[in-house]
Amino acid sequence: MLSVATVRGLWQRSLIAWPDGQRDETTAVRWLQGPSLYIDLRQPAGRPDFSACRGLDDLDRPAMLWLAGQEGFAGELLFDGQFFEWRRDIDLQPVSPYSDVGKLWFDHDVLIEEGRDIPYIEHWHRGPEATLPAAAARLSDADGCQASLVRCGDQFMFARDRAVKLPAGESLAQLVAAAPTMAAARALIDFELSFGTVTDEGWIIARSSLPWREGAQLAPVTAQGGAGLLTGETAADGKPSHRRWTIMQLQGVLTDLVDFSALRPSALAR
C-alpha cells in the first residue's frame, strides 16, 4: 500500500491530461519528496534568455510576466488512507480555492495521480534517490520569512517565500501586471524555488524560479550551535549574499540534510 514514506524521492512529470482532451507534456516539473515535507517546481517550456539578468533589479515587466507564469509550492504531504494532500504552506501563485488532493497508484514503474477536486491525470517518474537517506527542514528568518529545504541523496530543493504578503488574485501574472510600480512588481516575483545537486564543490543550483540563481551555490551551513542554517542567496543588484535561518522543524537527521564534509562556510562567498 502506498504511503508518504513510499513516495520519497525526486519525481519528474511526463504528462498532465484533462477530461476535455487538453494535455501538457512540455512543462518541466520536479517534485522532491522528503520524510513528509516536499517542494514542487513547475516551469513552462520556451523560457526567454535571462543571461543578462544578475538579480531582481535587472528585470523589466515583460520578463517578470514570464516568470510569473511559473508555478511552485512547498509544504507537507498528508495521507488519510485514501487520498494524498499536498498542503501548500508557501506558494508562488495566489492561494487556490481548491485543495491539492488526489489518489496515487503505480502502473508498473509510473506513479499515476488522479485529482479529487479537479479532474486530471498526471504521470510521474522517480529517480534512484528514493533508496538514499532523506531529510528536510522548515525554516524561518528573523523577519518571519518562511522557507523549506528538502534533500534526498545528492538531490535538493529549496523554497523561500517572498517578503511581502501576496494580495488576492487569480494569478501572479495578473498581480504583476497590475502592480503600481516596478519595485512592487519585483517584490511579488521575489520567491525562490531552486533545484540542484550536492557535489564535492557544494550545493549547485541547476534550475530556479529566479534564473540568475542557476549555477550559484545554495551552500547551507549550520549556525547557532546546530539550531540554524546559513544559505547563500543573490541580492537584488546581483551581488552574492546570505541569509540566516532558524530551524523550526527538522525531519530526519541533520547530518543527512547538511553534508559537513563537502561544505565549507567560504562557499557562501561564491
pLDDT at 190: 98
**3-class DSSP state for residue 201?**
coil
Please choose, from the candidates 185, 156, 153, 161, the residue with its C-alpha nearest in 3D space to the C-alpha of residue 68: 185
Q: pLDDT digits over 130-165, tens only?
A: 888 999 999 999 999 999 999 999 999 999 999 999
**Separation CA 128–CA 5 (nearest Å):** 15
Q: What is the dihedral of CA 194, 200, 201, 204, to 10 degrees?
A: -10
Please report, for the chain, how many H helices and E strands are present, in that order: 4, 17
Domain of 233: which CATH number? 2.40.128.280
> What percent of the chain is predicted at pLDDT more than 90?
84
Please choose, from the candidates 254, 251, 255, the residue with its C-alpha nearest in 3D space to the C-alpha of residue 33: 251
> Would you say 104 and 86 are in contact if contact means Cβ atoms under 8 Å apart?
no
pTM: 0.94
pLDDT at 262: 39
**Separation CA 116–CA 114 (nearest Å):** 7
**Residue appearing with cell numbers 479537479:** 118
> Would you say 150 and 32 are in contact if contact means Cβ atoms under 8 Å apart?
yes
Task: Give the lowest-confidence range in 191-195, 228-232, 235-239, 256-260.
Answer: 256-260
Specify the length of the chain in residues: 270
pLDDT at 226: 75
- Strand segments (E) across 191-239: 192-199, 202-208, 221-223, 228-234
Q: pLDDT digits over 200-215, tens only?
A: 889 999 999 999 999 9
pLDDT interval class at 265 (50, 70, 90): very low
Instruction: Give the structural domain span for 42.
Output: 5-269
> What percent of the chain is predicted at pLDDT more than 70?
96
Q: Which residues pair with 35 in a beta bridge?
A: none
Number of domains observed in the structure of the chain: 1
pLDDT at 26: 98
